[in-house]
């Protein structure tokens, strides 16, 4: 039926109708959906790829947020490690160089920095005194600033040197710290004396290098400095040591011991500069100040004419022994050995009469003697360890020096130095006392070496006793070797003169009567010369062996510091 209808339609129209499958183009033109770019299927052709999809955008946001988060974590962790490392370093420096707790943190850090730069230079380098002077100068300025740490610090009377302050209103710890900072500043000023500041470039230059009328022949610049400064652009960078030492000596609030130490340091500086007259006056003032500290003595501790200690006054104080020793060595350096030798002998006699340190009883024996149980040491236990870590250490108070010292290893080192001075004076002044002077020198070397083995060694800073013993040992070995070498040369010349005289006297008669007397005389002189030469030659070998044995004590090699990256070191 359907087929018939189709045939009739074709017959009427006269055209053949096409099937649906044969008219795709017309159907596409009529009913096809629009060709829009965002509705098309992605293909591999350029320009038709979608790079930022919704999933890709979410992934990038997550990665950026995660990166920022972990970067912040790393920076926070690094800052925390640096802060912890800085705190540990400052705490270790505080244990080695205690500071008053009432100072501000910045002042305490500057003070520790000055001491660290002075006593602990970088491995293989010497002390940078420019850095030391800067640290201590900053510390002193902060201590005198009333807005920082200088509250209750008043100006001294006008008759005192300019810049002198009255620190009697501060505590003892504050005054002691201020004194140490001033002494460190004065010592650094000795090394920086004459250094100038180029104001145009803000650079410090060594003395004698600036170009100007007052310096027509400037010195060449050391390595690391560029461009010599001009005199019109320069000014002195640091204060003179004289001004600093005079302020210390005039500061109200310092103890006699502190003023005596400052006076001896100032006199040594004047002696180094060749100003011997004022240096002698400062030495004498220090001795008089030490001798007047104890008015309760039965007699005057010092003979005012000969400067010899008076035995009737009892044992001298530590301040008197120290100042009088410095004054006696100063007079010996100036050539006045006739008066310096009796002073040194009296000082050595007084030191040898000092009491020995009393042995400290053991805790167990002391408890048994008292009939009680031994107490548990306070340094044990976790709480004690935590308190030791977090509680700042107390600032130690040194003795005032008014009491007689104890004959401990430190005092024995001073005895060795005195023996060395006495031996040197006796050897150089009297030919008949050379043997005795050589004996004093041997004794000094033996005592210094023995005490160096007994004194504890600090890897950061040597104690004054250990430094004195090392210096005494090195000087004593040098003096000993020079004395023996001179005696050996004189003995050799005497042997040569004796041998030549024997040959001259027996040669003419020997030609007539034979060679018998010449041979016998020459053999006797040779034996005498050989005996004398062998003695001093043997002692020279002993000295060489001694120098090799104590080389490690004299060099005192210290291991390099191992810092935070020590695990990278071999």
**Distance between CA 565 and CA 570 in Å, rounded?**
11
Q: What are the pLDDT digits (tens) for 91-100?
A: 888 888 999 9
In a domain, 77, yes or no: yes
- The answer on pLDDT for 533 being more than 80 is no
Distance CA 231, CA 209 (A): 9
139 part of a folded domain: no
Question: What phi and psi, each to the nearest 5 degrees, are found at residue 37?
Answer: -65, -45
Q: Which of 12-21, 79-88, 503-512 has the highest mean pLDDT?
A: 79-88
Ordered strands of the 203-205 beta sheet: 203-205, 196-198, 234-236
DSSP class of residue 42 equals P
Please give the pLDDT value at position 360. Answer: 55
Residue 116 belongs to a domain: no
Q: How far is CA 210 from the centre of its chain?
A: 30
Instruction: Let me know if residue 438 belongs to a domain.
Output: no
Domain annotation covers residue 400: no
Per-residue model confidence (pLDDT) at position 263 = 96
**Which pLDDT score, from 0 to 100, does residue 569 have?**
41
Count of the separate structural domains present in the chain = 1
Q: Is residue 85 part of a domain?
A: yes
What percent of the residues of the chain are helix, what percent strand, and what percent coil, each to the nearest 5? 60, 5, 35
pLDDT in tens, 260-282: 999 999 999 999 999 999 999 99
**pLDDT at position 119 over 70:** yes
Length of the chain, in residues: 570
Single out the residue of 324, 342, 250, 255 nearest to residue 283, CA to CA.
324
> What pLDDT sits at residue 387?
66
pLDDT at 245 (0 to 100): 97
Cα-based distances in Å from 463 to 177, 413, 458, 459, 477: 19, 12, 8, 10, 21
pTM of the model: 0.78
Query: Residue 514: its pLDDT value, please?
Result: 40
Pair 469, 532: CB distance under 8 Å: no
Give the residue carrying structure tokens 């650094």: 188
At 556, give phi and psi (nearest 5°): 55, 60
Phi then psi for residue 209, to 5 deg, are -105, -10
The predicted pLDDT at position 532 comes to 43
Report pLDDT for 357. Answer: 81
**Most distant CA atoms of the chain, gap in Å:** 185
Choose among 320, 314, 308, 323: nearest CA to 353. Answer: 314
Give the Cα separation of 70 and 303 in Å (integer). Answer: 80
Residue 519 pLDDT: 36
Cβ(482)–Cβ(441) under 8 Å? Answer: no
Contacts of residue 174, Cβ cutoff 8 Å, sequence gap at least 6: 100, 102, 103, 167
Query: Does residue 90 belong to any structural domain of this protein?
Result: yes
pLDDT at 400 over 80: yes
Q: What is the mean pLDDT of residues 201-224?
A: 89
State the pairing for strand pair 196-198/203-205.
antiparallel
The residue range of the domain holding 89 is 68-94
Q: What is the pLDDT of residue 441?
A: 92
The answer to whether residue 86 sits within a structural domain is: yes
List alpha helices for 14-126, DSSP H.
Answer: 24-31, 54-96, 105-119
Helices (H), 97-127: 105-119
Q: CA 161, 163, 169 angle in degrees (round to 5)? A: 105
Residue 548: which residues within 8 A CB-CB, separation 6 or more? Answer: none
How crowded is residue 280: how many other Cβ atoms within 10 Å of its Cβ? 17
- Whether residue 570 is predicted with pLDDT greater than 50 in this model: the reply is no
- For the ranges 111-115, 116-120, 404-408, 428-432, the lowest mean pLDDT is seen at 428-432
Would you say 290 and 317 are in contact if contact means Cβ atoms under 8 Å apart?
A: yes
Q: Which of 219-228, 267-276, 470-479, 512-521 has the lowest mean pLDDT?
A: 512-521
pLDDT tens by residue, 13-45: 555 445 544 544 544 454 555 665 655 555 555
Q: Between residues 27 and 451, which one has the greater pLDDT?
A: 451
pLDDT digit string, tens, across residues 345-394: 999 999 999 988 876 544 444 333 334 444 444 455 667 666 666 676 67
* Cβ-based neighbours of 507, under 8 Å, separated by 6 or more: 518
Task: Give the pLDDT score at 346.
Answer: 94
- Specify the 3-state DSSP secondary structure of 197: strand
């Amino acid at each position: 039926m359907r087929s018939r209808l189709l045939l009739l339609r074709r017959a009427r129209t006269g055209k053949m109708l096409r099937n649906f499958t044969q008219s795709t183009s017309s159907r596409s033109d009529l009913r096809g959906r629009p060709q829009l770019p965002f509705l098309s299927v992605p293909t591999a052709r350029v320009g038709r790829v979608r790079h930022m999809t919704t999933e890709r955008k979410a992934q990038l946001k997550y990665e950026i947020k995660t990166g920022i988060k972990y970067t912040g974590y790393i920076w926070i962790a690094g800052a925390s490690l640096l802060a912890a490392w800085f705190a540990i370093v400052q705490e270790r420096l505080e244990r080695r160089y205690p500071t008053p707790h009432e100072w501000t943190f910045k002042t305490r850090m500057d003070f520790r920095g000055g001491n660290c730069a002075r006593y602990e230079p970088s491995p293989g380098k010497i002390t940078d005194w420019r850095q030391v002077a800067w640290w201590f100068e900053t510390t002193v300025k902060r201590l005198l600033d009333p807005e920082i740490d200088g509250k209750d610090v008043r100006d001294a009377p006008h008759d005192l040197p300019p810049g002198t302050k009255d620190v009697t209103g501060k505590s003892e710890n504050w005054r002691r710290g201020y004194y140490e900072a001033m002494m460190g500043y004065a010592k650094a000023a000795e090394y920086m004396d004459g250094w100038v500041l180029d104001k145009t470039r803000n650079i410090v230059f060594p003395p004698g290098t600036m170009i100007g009328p007052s310096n027509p022949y400037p010195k060449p610049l050391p390595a690391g400095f560029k461009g010599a400064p001009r005199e019109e652009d320069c000014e002195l960078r640091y204060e003179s040591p004289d001004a600093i030492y005079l302020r210390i000596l005039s500061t109200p609030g310092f103890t006699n011991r502190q003023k005596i130490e400052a006076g001896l340091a100032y006199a040594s500086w004047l002696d180094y500069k060749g100003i011997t007259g004022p240096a002698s006056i400062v030495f004498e003032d220090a001795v008089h100040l030490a001798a007047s500290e104890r008015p309760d003595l039965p007699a005057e501790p010092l003979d005012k004419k000969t400067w010899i200690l008076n035995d009737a006054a009892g044992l001298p104080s530590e301040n008197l022994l120290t100042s009088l020793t410095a004054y006696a060595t100063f007079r010996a350096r100036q050539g006045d050995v006739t008066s310096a030798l009796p002073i040194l002998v009296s000082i050595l006699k007084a030191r040898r009469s000092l009491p020995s340190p009393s042995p400290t009883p053991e805790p167990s024996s002391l408890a048994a003697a008292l009939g009680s149980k031994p107490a548990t040491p306070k340094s044990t236990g976790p709480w004690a360890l935590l308190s030791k870590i977090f509680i700042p250490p107390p600032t130690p108070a040194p003795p005032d020096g008014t009491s007689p010292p104890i004959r401990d290893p430190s005092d024995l080192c001073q005895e060795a130095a005195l023996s060395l001075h006495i031996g040197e004076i006796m050897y150089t002044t009297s030919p008949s006392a050379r043997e005795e002077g050589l004996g004093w020198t041997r004794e000094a070397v033996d005592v210094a070496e023995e005490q160096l083995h007994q004194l504890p060694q600090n890897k950061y800073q040597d104690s004054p006793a250990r430094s004195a013993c090392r210096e005494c040992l090195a000087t004593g070995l040098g003096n000993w070797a020079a004395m023996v070498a001179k005696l050996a040369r004189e003995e050799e010349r005497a042997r040569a003169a004796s041998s030549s005289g024997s040959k001259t006297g027996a040669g003419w008669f020997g030609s007539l009567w034979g060679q018998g007397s010449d041979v016998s005389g020459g053999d006797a002189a040779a034996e005498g010369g050989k005996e004398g030469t062998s003695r001093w030659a043997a002692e020279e070998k002993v000295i060489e062996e001694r120098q090799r044995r104590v080389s490690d004590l004299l060099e005192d090699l210290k291991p390099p510091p191992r810092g935070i990256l020590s695990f990278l070191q071999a």
